[in-house]
Amino acid sequence: MARTVEFFFDPVCPFCWQTSKWFRQVSRLTDVEPVWRFISLAILNEDPDDADATNDSHAAGTALLRVAAAAQEAHGPEVVGRLYEEMGLRLWEDAPEIDSPPEGDERWVVMGKHRQSVVDDLPAILEAADLPVSLAAAQHHERFDAELRASTDEAMERTGGDVGTPILSFDPPDGPAFFGPVISATPTDDQAVELYEAVDTLARWPSFAEFKRSLREPIDNALFATLMPPE
């Protein structure tokens, strides 16, 4: 019997993308039935003292999530996963052509320009996901923010808050949910299943809450390899 696992994502989170690649492996190799849900880093990082405060990354995430919400509304939840994949491939597995790796804060400038180019390329992303290019206009429509906020609030209610992306929710809506796993590299198929089994075991343990370390390998995607190559 398939087990439903909901994956809450924001396209502009690089670690969320790495975990989503693993999660797709798991859904291909096991009986896990993935359901792709929204979580907005812009909403999670709202400043109550400055309602208009934002940054370029959060603005791009909002634009992409609005389009995903519009696609879900018009064509059903089953299209969200493939649309997120097309967004993620362009955000993280494509990289701008540069003569040499930028240094210091210039890295974030280049990354910001790349991120905006992906938002600007939404019609091509939608076409690749076999969806109407007209949905790109939803990036400007605030009416989809209510859905983004409701989904984000639901994710926080399930985890208890004070977490980020990604969030996995097992046997929703009443099963366990938690932030992570946060991984840098894409595992082999055998490793992917082994990691999932470990995560699933922890999820089933009612008193388990946290397992964390700060050390991590470099993020394994084309954008980071181009902008921040290992020394």
CB 10, CB 40: distance < 8 Å: yes
**The pLDDT value given to residue 224:** 84
pLDDT at 61 over 80: yes
Displacement of CA 161 from its chain's centroid (Å)? 17
Which of 46-55, 58-67, 79-88, 124-133 has the least mean pLDDT? 46-55
Model pTM above 0.85: yes
Task: Tell me: pLDDT of 231 over 80.
Answer: no
Is the pLDDT assigned to residue 47 strictly greater than 80? no
